[in-house]
Homo-oligomer: A and B are copies of this chain.
């Protein structure tokens, strides 16, 4: 079924629901698909006869999978649209289907446009879930230009070759030594900037939504981000009371790391609290008498949402710099790896 520019294999999901005899299902959609949810729900109801619930809670990635919350309501199955599975986001309680939403946009035009910006001959190819199906075509285009494309397997958290997440650039770092640059297919700047910082090779971003090619902008964004991170680190140097944030969502539960951080802060004579949080928001934290936060949850929260919070928020790597355990020169991007 095609919805809002995305091809969603809901037909296959409906078959599984029928085969398994599921009676109540919950559907999760990313924000952009909420507007068009009626025909999809009508299709599922008609095809399967099941009661269909739509989850309206934030759905930014596979980490946001609903599950145990709905067990009580006799939900037999969760249909999670628009994100691929992450291996450590296991669903113990309710069977879950990850159904990708493939963008129907043709990427060839913007890839052709990006060719002159590429550096060298060996090109690492990376993208996000909705464009993964285009990588074969992109490979062909590159070969037609006498370029040598590389698409790597990621670590165990990555389900498909060439896919990057906001918290995992392993498909890039694994081949960084072998390529001259990376071509990123997709929108937004967080992913290409993260890749640039993790893989330390030039990144050219080709956005099929806007037909824009960015290279210098990605470099500039990286420098801006580093300046902001440096500022956050400086702001935490005089902090006395630290909040160590632990994400409750599967795939972000780095509690072992949080405990190590608490020991580190204990040794440094700092007060600290271990704080769990499901939905991150400035409102949830404003009540605490705390000077700064170290987030072990999704790396995007400390970096992308930095300005929303009233107190500085840093990553675990950045805390090491604050405490003098790491040099600024060895700064690395926070990732959640296998």
Contact = CB atoms under 8 A, between A and B. Distances in A.
A56 B288 contact: yes
A274 B53 contact: yes
A56 B55 CA distance: 22
A53 B284 contact: no
Given A72-B250, A248-B69, A274 B54 contact: yes
A38 B289 contact: yes
Contacts of A255: 73-74
Interface string A238-249: 000100011010
Contacts of A70: 248, 276
Interface string A261-286: 00000000001011111110000110
A35 B290 CA distance: 9
A276 B55 contact: yes
A54 B279 contact: no
A289 B285 CA distance: 32
A288 B37 contact: yes
Contacts of A245: 56
Contacts of A36: 289
Contacts of A284: 56-58
Given A37-B288, A38-B271, A73-B253, A279 B276 contact: no
A92 to B, nearest CB: 8
Given A37-B288, A253-B73, A246 B53 contact: yes
Contact of A41 (B32, B55, B56, B273): B273
Contact of A53 (B56, B93, B276): B276
A275 B56 contact: yes
- Interface of chain A: mostly helix, strand, loop or mixed: mixed
A51 interface: yes
B241 A275 contact: no
Contact of A278 (B69, B246, B276, B288): B69
Interface in A17-49: 26, 31-32, 34-38, 41
Nearest to A241: B38
A287 interface: yes
Contact of A273 (B31, B37, B73): B37
A60 interface: no
Nearest to A274: B53
B56 A253 contact: no
A278 B246 CA distance: 19
Contacts of A279: 57, 278-279
A42 to B, nearest CB: 9
Contacts of A250: 72
Interface of A: 26, 31-32, 34-38, 41, 51-58, 66, 68-74, 93, 241, 245-246, 248, 250, 253, 255, 259, 271, 273-279, 284-285, 287-289
